[in-house]
Structure formats: C-alpha cells, structure tokens
A and B are shown apart, each in its own frame.
Chain A
Amino acid sequence: DGGITQSPKYLFRKEGQNVTLSCEQNLNHDAMYWYRQDPGQGLRLIYYSQIVNDFQKGDIAEGYSVSREKKESFPLTVTSAQKNPTAFYLCASRKDRASNQPQHFGDGTRLSIL
C-alpha cells in the first residue's frame, strides 16, 4: 500500500540527548513537512522540504534539524536544544509543491521525556 510511514510510534528522550524521528513515503511526493502537535492546539510547522536537498524553516524550527537526501525520506532530529520536546510529531507529504494538492499525514510519533 502507498502511504506515509512514521517510526517509531513512541519515543523517549533523556536529558541532553538528540533523537531522530523517521518519515518515509512511497507516494512519489515532492514536498514533505514536519508538524508538532500539543494538546488543545492546532498543528505547528517545524520544517518543510519542497525538493530533494532543499528544506526551509517553519514557524517553530528552533531546536530541530532535518535532512532531505532522498525523495522518499525526511527525518527530523530533536536536539538537546529543544527544551520542551514532549509532543506528538506528524509528518506529511504532498505531490507537487506548486499545486493545490492537499497534504496527507502519517500516523505520528509521540515523544516523551524520561
């Protein structure tokens, strides 16, 4: 089946540790996105990538980093500089960066602090 796969489903981080969340899509989509979701709030954009080897900061990029070395993969690293990392992280993709095609989402990774 085609889709967006996020892993792991649950992740725990120790103080001072960097952790990486995986996002893989087999939809041949050009653009990929990372969002953070906190209780009672809408989704906030962390980073996005419209094409391989290019990415842009979203609204809350501080403490996060990404890479886009392959079209199908867009991993997110939550660094130790992110002081409040506990949240639900969602990855999304869309087919064409220039069109109005909607974004489709993975099932998320829940990150907690030990």
Chain B
Amino acid sequence: GQQLNQSPQSMFIQEGEDVSMNCTSSSIFNTWLWYKQDPGEGPVLLIALYKAGELTSNGRLTAQFGITRKDSFLNISASIPSDVGIYFCAGAGGTSYGKLTFGQGTILTVHP
C-alpha cells in the first residue's frame, strides 16, 4: 500500500522553542490531515488541508499542503508543556473513499 514517511521520529525541545515536522509520500494525496494523540487517548484533529499550496493556521500551529501534493509540514511556534504527545500526518487520495494513510508519528517532548 501507500507509504507516508514522517520525520523526525522524535523531538526533545525546550519550552518556548519552535517545532517543525513533515511528511512525504510516494503518491499524490487530495487531503492532508494532522492529528495529535495524547497517551491512552484517540487522535484529535488539529488541521485539515484540502488544496495544494494551502497554508492554514490554528493558534500556534501552522500546516501547509505541498504544491506537489506529495508532502505536508506542521510547525508549532513557542512550544509549551501541553504540546507533548504524538503527532501524526495522514493523507487521503481521490478514490480512497476516505481511507487514510498514516505516517509513523513524531513523538514530541517539551522540557520546561
């Protein structure tokens, strides 16, 4: 099946630092989604991207849908301790009937 390569696998940062993570695909997607998962809970949607080149913000989070449709990135500015968790990218193709392909996740640790 399709593969999403998400990097980095983990990040250890100081509170207040900015964070950047990205996903690349060998296939084209029509939708890119970014989720955050806290321990023992389900993923929560952070940002949804539907158009190539689209840049969308949600508070301190900014995500972009790559112009080639094969990549996306997520930035977090001025990180805080509650940003700790696992961040997943997910892509959906035009004929996949909503089926998502997930990246492996980026584990974020924020030191106070």
Other-chain residue from A40, A42, A48 in contact with B99 (beta carbon distance below 8 A): A48
Say whether chain B's binding surface is mostly helix, strand, loop, or mixed: loop
Query: In the bound complex, do residue A42 and residue B88 qualify as a contact, i.e. CB atoms below 8 Å apart?
Result: yes
Query: In the bound complex, do residue A97 and residue B97 qualify as a contact, i.e. CB atoms below 8 Å apart?
Result: yes
For chain B, which range describes its interface: under 10, 10 to 19, 20 to 34, or 35 or more residues? 20 to 34
Per-residue A-contact encoding for B22-38, CB less than 8 Å = 1, 0 else: 00000000110101000
B40 cross-chain contacts in A, Cβ below 8 A: 107-108, 110
Query: In the bound complex, do residue A43 and residue B88 qualify as a contact, i.e. CB atoms below 8 Å apart?
Result: yes
B44 cross-chain contacts in A, Cβ below 8 A: 105
Chain A positions within 8 Å of B, measured between CB atoms, are 4, 6, 31, 33, 40-45, 48, 50, 58-59, 90, 92, 94, 97-108, 110
Given contacts A40-B9, A44-B102, A105-B43, 14 further A-B contacts (CB under 8 A): A40-B104, A42-B6, A42-B102, A43-B43, A43-B102, A45-B100, A48-B98, A58-B99, A90-B42, A98-B97, A102-B45, A102-B48, A103-B45, A105-B35
Report the minimal beta-carbon distance from B5 to chain A, rounded to whole angstroms: 10
Other-chain residue from B4, B33, B99 in contact with A45 (beta carbon distance below 8 A): B99
CA distance A97 to B44 in the complex (A): 20
